[in-house]
Amino acid sequence: MPIQNKMSVAVPQTLTEKDYCTAYCAVKRFAFPRQRRSIRAGICLTAAALAASTIPACLNFYRTAVPSAVITAAAVILAALIWFLQPAVDSRRAAAVFRSCPLMAQPCRVTVTRDHAVVQSKYENYTEYWTDFSVCVETPELFAAACGRQRDMLILKKQDLAPKQAAAISRCLAGAFALRYYKTGR
């Protein structure tokens, strides 16, 4: 006997640029771990430590530590730039993507079921199956599933949901995505 698809939650919502930026940054953090600022800054600091460890050898062979010191300083400066500037760059990139697609800002109705989501607005109507997405992230503000067929990201804001609906959607997405489901900010 086939499993019945009993869970269905329909929510009207309108995305804002801030919602999209939050979802973009959360998804990027889990979908591309090597692009996290802590990983990139750590790589630069490791390179700085390695360059600093060659100072005695440079002094011994070349009688100057300038090349090692320059590389060390450059790696430390690059780590600081990555640490402080990457969040702003990611937010600007997400805002540009959001502004490039006016359909994202349109009011729509998102219906979530056990195996898919249906997005309906005045201008479009599409269905996204959970198997088409590569990752799903739940934050305190929203659910975001990334790399779908119709849209790059499916976002469902929690502010429009009742607590029972949010819990049901969380269970549904955790079951559908399994190891590709991440929850932040508990």
If one counts every other C-beta atom within 10 angstroms of the C-beta of residue 104, the result is 21
Confidence of residue 53 (pLDDT cuts 50, 70, 90): very high
CB within 8 Å of 105: residues ≥ 6 apart? 14, 15, 16, 17, 98
- As a whole-number percent, the residues of the chain with pLDDT over 70 amount to 97
Q: Round to whole Å and give the CA distance between 12 and 38.
A: 36
pLDDT digits (tens, 9 = 90+) for 127-168: 999 988 999 999 999 999 998 777 789 999 999 888 999 999
pLDDT digits (tens, 9 = 90+) for 113-131: 988 999 999 999 999 999 8
Pick the residue with more confidence: 185 or 4?
185
Q: Tell me the three state secondary structure of residue 8.
A: strand
